[in-house]
Amino acid sequence: MGRRGKQLVLGALGVAVLLALIAIPYRDPMSGDAPIAREDTVIFDLDRSIKNPRNFNWLTPGVKRLHGAHQAMWEPLFVLNYANGELEPWLGLSIESNASHDVWTLVLRQGVEWSDGEAFDADDVEFTARMLMDSDAISAREAIRFKAQVDDVEKIDSHTIQFRLKQPNPGFHIENFGVLNFSSFLVMPEHIWRGQTVGSFDFFPPIGTGPYTFSSATSQRAIWDRDDNWWGARAGFLELPAPKRLVWIETGGQENRAQLLRSNQLDAGQHLALGIFEAIQARNPNVVSWHDGFPYSWTDPCPRQLEINATVEPWDNPAMRKAIAHIVDRQQIIDIVYEGSTVPSKTMFVQYGAMQPFIDAVVDAGYELPTRANLEAAHAIIEDNGYSMGDDGTYVKDGVPLTTRILANTASAETTGTVDLLVEQLQRAGIDARSVPVEDGVFWGEVIPLGDYEMSYSWLSCGSVNEPWASMVRYTNNSMAPIGERAPGYNNTGRWDTDATDRYTAVVNRIGQLSLGDPQIPGLVAEAYRELDAETPFIPLVQAAKVLSFNETHWTGWPRANDFYVHPMHWWNSTHLIIHQLEKADGGP
Amino acid sequence: MSGGTTKAIPVEYLFNRLLTFFLTVFIAASIIWLIPRLSPIDPAEAMLGRMAAGAGFVENADQILADLRTQFGLDEPLWKQYLAYLKSLAVFDFGVSVANFPTPVAQMLAAALPWTIGLMIVSVVIAFIIGNAAGAFMAWQETPKTWKVVIPAAMIFTSIPPILSGLLLMWLFSAQLGWFPLTGSYGLFVTPGWNWEFIYSVIEHGALPALSIVVVTFGFWALGMRGLMTTVQSEDYVQLAKAKGLRPRYILYRYMIRNAILPQVTAFALKIGLLVTGQILVERIFSYNGMGKLIYDAILNQDFAVIQGASYVVILMTAASVLLVDLLYPFIDPRIRHGGGR
Amino acid sequence: MTATANTAMSKAEEREARRRAKRLKRFDSPWMNPKLLWGAGILIGILLFGFFGRLLWDPELVFIGSAPLNLPPLGFENLRGDGGSTAHPLGTQSSGRDILALLIVGAPNTLFIGVIASLIGMAIGIVLGFSAGFIGGRTDDVIRVIADVMITIPPLMVLIVFQTSIGEIGIVMMGVLLSGFMWQSPTRLIRAQVLSMRESGYVRMARLSGASTFDIMFKEMLPNLVPYLFGSFIAIATTAIVTAVGLETLGLGPQRVPTLGRVIYEAIDSAALLRNMWWWWGIPTALLATMFIGLLLVNLGLDEVANPKLRKV
């Protein structure tokens, strides 16, 4: 009997081991895809997971575009090329306005086809435009911006569409159709979308006009295969791109990203801390960045800043916000978080050459942001407002300590690093600050648009790259939503709405009426900036340096400082320009 | 051996053990439920709020949220919420993840568990074999002197948590020598399934996490084995065998190890439960796809439902392994009877 | 002459004999076994390091940005080829914290968490263990079952739930929370010992002479349990520290106050392994390992005190 017991035990153990082995999940994304050699595949970095791999309705929130959809499948109408400042035609051929900038005429390229063979024409553009204008269910920033500006759309002929704006806007074409920032107006196929409910349609499987078609996606990766029947090659627009397959994988953190780059399993990587990049390059010289040497980095068009909720005590008091601005030490953020690879923000704007006149105007008016902290000034303001320093080094007023909570999006180490440092700076200045990690989806889906925060770290004055209006308009009270309702387009999420805001809005709206390059603009920028300086609705921190990595083991032709044909953000809609430039590396392993 | 004719588990003993098991799980589940209620903000409620805000884009999101609301019964009295919670735990329904809305937590746990269990079985089995061999070797009189010094010196590792040995191994074999991948549980570009590429990749990725557990645990077995061997050595039957002039090696295998190994097997099952939490930390540093990574990601994302579910499952595993030991022990060791004092 | 020489001789002999006796005595005392001494030496060394370190080194250097970044220890080079600096002899990490200062502040904090958890756990364990063993009956049943049940619940998991729902906690709070999982094994141990001692001669004597239960428990029985108590104390302190380090390496636990686990967490999080900044994770790891070895040695030494049989091995 004892022997039988033993056998029973051994049997049970054996079964358990077998079960454990069988249970290892082998549900596979790649299965069903024909094998394509690594040499023919380009692997891009995705810095977040794809929560809805079977949903391609980009008008609703979620990762619906940057996993390849708008880099490989959906093509833009135009691309504002940061390299030369020109608006390069893509699906569009030309776009022009009338003299008063309130009627714009778009002409489409001939011969464009959807990947299912249907023709791409003015009907698709008109349909998409009307869908955006008529729907309340959309939340993508590009869609909301378009909806806010356009009054009516009219098809002139099969390749010409006219847009009538609610207000004159000299920058309409760049803002909406030019991939100004991350993405733009993406045209959807009318023959598939017609009759669908905009808010709930999943658009699966998706189609586009691009040279790659959707193959498969899981929460960790999306695969796109080349469509050798692409319209562009047939129409003589461009040759087929060289890679047969594009893959976006969720790398999950800098360490994995670095490891994949080092072992040539990743061709285009997102941001790495400078020290990590240097360590990788020391081991794998094929891994390169924007510059060949220090500081390696590319300046992202979205400068970093601290957002403050102007409706929450005590930060509803402009003086207290100013105190925070005095406490912030920009140089320390650069030294520590960016390891010296970027520069402090002088104003709210990105420090590109084209922005220089406006930055100069603000600086000349005396509103330049300091590099270093001014703690005396901060202490003086806080004490003026009735606080006194407690025994534990924290300010107290009526027995209540001065506290704040800064929300940090957990998606990137840069964010959490900066917030940790801001917390440290505020703590040392006597404010009991805490960092609160918030998941990416919740951060952008809820707390930011609803204004459900005290302070948060983000890049919400992003927008301008060659003119000042796109950034400045985001802090006007043109379309204020109360706390708890969604701020349209993530604009003025801190709900800054005072008399100063009215004055600011009036000036910014005037800027919006002027043509690009109008000599009045710098002066008006300085005038509007006076209100920002006085009330500090947000605190610009530093220029965002991105150490993007490209691996030249398998593919060359990446955009770099010495080969600056387009800006290098490979998660943007402008990536279409990059994929056509890639070439197989000779003698790769 | 001891003439026991029946080996059926006495009902009373079985009942007692099962009661302890269920009591353990029940108390642990209650603690997990109670803790969040001590906080001014109820994460369950906060979680639902967040999901509702981010859910506009999910099909049937309203339905899912409404279901969750009834399940949590947020407007019901606390005792009703508690009962609903216990009921949902019983069917492994932990709600849905915030960070991966609307993926059910149970589904995420089911994907992570096999990795954790697989890694655990492999590392514990290896440690058990090496440790017992070392322990027996140490206590055996014929072992060369040098070994008797080397093996106890290795014992010092026993005191170190596996996360520290893991770091050291990671640095040496991955970061410096590049022999093994730094993180992950299989290559990004292999196709999971029954193919050699995948199996090789899994072994390659699992080697270091397993090794970091082995180096700090085998000493535990060795120490135990040495003690048992010392005891066994002085037993009559061993002395008798020696007097009979049997070969020392034969005595070692046939008489000593065979008798000393039994109590070790018990300790083995017990240790499985205790190892889980240590291993979770190892998985976290290696970004191994198991529970460790799941929990770590959930902490980062403030994904409370996942944390709660994962904690519950780990506690369940620990309690189950203890129960298993209690029930199996008498089968393995004939000297012990169910319910008898040991 | 000879007499004086003789007395001198005998005095010298006497002294020698006394010294020998002392030495013998020292080796005879079970408390003076080398494992215990070494272990205690290591732990006291770490405490002294923390104590004098604070006097000799600037503890403010643990804060972000208080030192240059990524400096290697003296005599080494980092990836950029910078050498170490005497201002930061053990190097610095990537947000400008000084490693030496982190160790000085962090190591005692880590030990402290263990000591708090252990002290409270022991106190609970002594009370419950004695009650169970001495009073017996229903009390015993209840305590035994609860201890059996609680011992299988892994503290790490419950603390993760606690931290994520309640938020950040301090060092003392962490110790207190941990103690909720540290009383079970002393309770079981003491209960077993009390049960066997209850029937021994001297306890019966005491009971016959009319001593109160309290007196018997704490005046007669407790002193005999001291070696067990110490052993148990060290064992649960080790468990508490392992759990605390585990929590810290998950990024939970105290945030601004450095602990060794937190230092390791930040090192992993900032890819110190890839950056080849071994001093960042390696030195705290080594210190933690030393701490655990010290605890192990103390524990083994105390085992020898409690079980004289082991001493011969």
Does some domain include residue A369? yes
Q: For the residues A284-289, what does the mean pLDDT come to?
A: 95
Please choose, from the candidates A45, A60, A56, A81, the residue with its C-alpha nearest in 3D space to the C-alpha of residue A573: A81
Within the 400-419 window of chain A, which residues sit less than 8 Å (CB to CB) from chain C? 413, 417
Contact between B57 and A27 using a beta-carbon 8 Å cutoff = no
What chain C residue is nearest to A257 in terms of C-alpha separation?
Answer: C271
Nearest to B285 among C166, C268, C289 (CB): C268
Structural domains in chain A (count): 3
Provide the b/e sequence for B202-239 (b: ≥16 CB within 10 Å): beebbbbbbbbbbbbbbbbbbbbbbbbbeebbeeeebe
Same domain, A253 and A352: no
Helices and strands, number each (H, E), in chain C: 12, 0
At A189 the pLDDT is: 96
CB neighbours of C144 closer than 8 A, spacing ≥ 6?
C132, C188, C191
pLDDT at site A190: 95
Q: Where are the beta strands (DSSP E) in A179-238?
A: 212-217, 221-226
On whether residue A63 sits in a domain, the answer given is: no
pLDDT at residue C276 greater than cutoff 50: yes
The mean pLDDT of chain A is 88
Residues A353 and A471 in one domain: yes
A200: buried, middle or exposed (CB in 10 Å: 19+, 13-18, 0-12)?
middle
| Residue type, position A104, single letter | W
User: Do residue A259 and residue B332 have CB atoms under 8 angstroms apart?
Assistant: no
- The separation between the first and the last C-alpha atoms of chain A, rounded to the nearest angstrom, is 62
Are both A345 and A383 inside the same structural domain?
A: yes
Q: Is residue A129 part of a domain?
A: yes
Q: Where are the alpha helices (DSSP H) in chain B?
A: 11-38, 43-54, 61-72, 78-90, 105-139, 145-154, 162-169, 196-233, 236-244, 248-250, 258-285, 291-301, 304-332
Tokens of C46: 């770490």
- The CATH number given to whatever domain includes residue C214 is 1.10.3720.10
In angstroms, rounded to a whole number, what is the distance separating the alpha carbons of residues A115 and A228?
Answer: 10
pLDDT at B82: 87
Amino acid at B182: L
Q: Is residue C17 part of a domain?
A: no
pLDDT band of A381, cuts 50, 70, 90: very high
User: C107 near C289, Cβ under 8 Å?
Assistant: no
Identify which of B54, B191, B301 has the shortest CB distance to residue A445: B54
Which of A132, A161, A193 is the C-terminal boundary of a domain? Answer: A193
CATH for A244 = 3.40.190.10
Alpha helices in C2-151 (DSSP H): 2-28, 34-56, 99-130, 137-151
- What's chain C's Rg over C-alpha atoms? 25
DSSP-derived letter for residue A165 is E
A160 plus A224 within the same structural domain: no
- Rounded CA-CA distance A540/A460 in Å is 10
pLDDT band at C296, cuts 50/70/90? confident
Structural domain includes residue C64 = no
Tokens 């428990």 found at: C217
Sign of CA dihedral A32, A35, A38, A39: negative
- B301 contacts A24? CB cut-off 8 A: no
Least Cα distance to A125 among A157, A103, A101 occurs for A157
* Residue showing tokens 């002899």: C89
| Nearby residues of C205 by Cβ (< 8 Å), 6 or more positions away | none
Task: Judge whether A61 lies within some domain.
Answer: no
Does residue C146 carry a pLDDT above 60?
yes
CB contact under 8 A, C65 and A420: no
Amino acid (one-letter) located at A147? K
Does residue A229 belong to any structural domain of this protein?
Answer: yes
Is C10 within the bounds of a domain? Answer: no
Within-domain flag for A19: no
The owner of tokens 């022997």 is A3
Tell me the percentage of chain A whose pLDDT exceeds 90.
Answer: 64
Is A452 among the domain residues?
A: yes
Query: Are A179 and A220 within one domain?
Result: no
Partners of residue B117 in chain A, C-beta under 8 Å: 20, 23
pLDDT at res. A30 = 44
| Domains in chain B with CATH codes | 1-99+303-342 (no CATH), 110-300 (1.10.3720.10)
The pLDDT tens digits for A185-226 are 999 999 999 999 888 888 999 999 999 999 988 877 899 999
Instruction: For chain C, give the percent of residues with pLDDT over 90.
Output: 27
Match 């990524």 to its residue by tokens: C70
| Higher local confidence (pLDDT), C11 or A462 | A462
CB pairs under 8 A between B and C: 131
Q: How many domains does chain C have?
A: 1
Residues A262 and A148 grouped into a single domain: no
Tell me which chain C residues have a C-beta less than 8 angstroms from the C-beta of B285.
Answer: 249, 268
Other CB atoms within 10 Å distance of the CB of residue C99 = 28
Q: Does the beta carbon of A276 lie under 8 angstroms from any beta carbon of chain C?
A: yes
pLDDT tens digits, residue range C11-44?
A: 667 777 766 666 555 556 777 788 889 999 999 9
Based on the fold, state whether residues A536 and A570 are members of the same structural domain.
no
A330 lies in the same domain as A344: yes
> Residue A398 above 50 pLDDT?
yes
pLDDT reported for residue C78: 83
User: In the prediction, which pLDDT does B5 show?
Assistant: 42
Alpha helices in B58-195 (DSSP H): 61-72, 78-90, 105-139, 145-154, 162-169
Residues A401 and A460 in one domain: yes
Residues of C with CB under 8 A from a CB of A: 63-65, 69-70, 79-80, 94-96, 168, 256, 268-271, 273-277
Residue-wise pLDDT for C152-185, tens only, equals: 788 888 888 888 887 778 899 999 999 999 998 8
SS3 content of chain C, % helix, strand, coil (to 5): 75, 0, 25
Name the residue range of residue C38's domain: 33-56+89-310
For residue A120, pLDDT beyond 90: yes
CA-to-CA distance for B227 and B221, rounded, in angstroms? 10
Cβ(C259)–Cβ(C106) below 8 Å: yes
What residues pair up with C85 in beta bridges, in sequence order? C88
Answer whether C152 sits within 8 Å of B322, measured CB to CB.
Answer: yes
- Nearest CA to A265 among A497, A501, A513, A555? A555
Closest residue of A to B304, CA-based?
A: A439
- Interatomic CA distance for residues A372 and A425, integer angstroms: 11
- Residues written for chain C: 313
pLDDT of residue C169: 82
Cα distances (Å, whole numbers) of residue A40 to A228, A244, A285 = 14, 5, 21
- Assess whether A278 and A325 both reside in one domain: no
| Domain match, A310 and A261 both | no
Segment (H or E) for A429: none
Neighbours of A165 (CB within 10 A): 17
> C166 and B277: CB-CB below 8 Å?
no
Residues 70-129 of C with CB under 8 A from B: none
Name the residue range of residue A573's domain: 37-56+214-297+547-584
Question: Is the CB of A424 inside 8 Å of chain C's CB atoms?
Answer: yes
Q: Kindly report the CATH number assigned to the domain that includes residue A401.
A: 3.10.105.10
Q: CA nearest A218: which of A408, A469, A32?
A: A32
A538 and A555 co-located in one domain: no
* B177 inside 8 A of chain A by CB: no
Contact between A59 and B56 under an 8 Å Cβ cutoff? The reply is: no
Provide the residue-wise pLDDT of chain B in tens; the chain has 342 residues: 343 444 566 788 888 888 888 998 999 899 888 888 877 666 666 666 666 655 555 556 677 777 777 766 677 788 888 888 888 888 888 888 877 777 889 998 998 898 988 898 888 888 888 888 887 777 777 777 777 676 666 677 777 888 888 888 888 888 888 788 877 777 776 667 777 888 888 888 888 999 988 888 887 778 777 777 777 777 777 778 777 877 777 777 777 777 777 667 666 665 666 678 888 889 888 888 888 889 888 887 778 888 889 999 988 888 888 887 777 766 655 554 444 433
Does residue A7 fall inside a structural domain?
A: no
Looking at residue C79, what is its pLDDT? 80
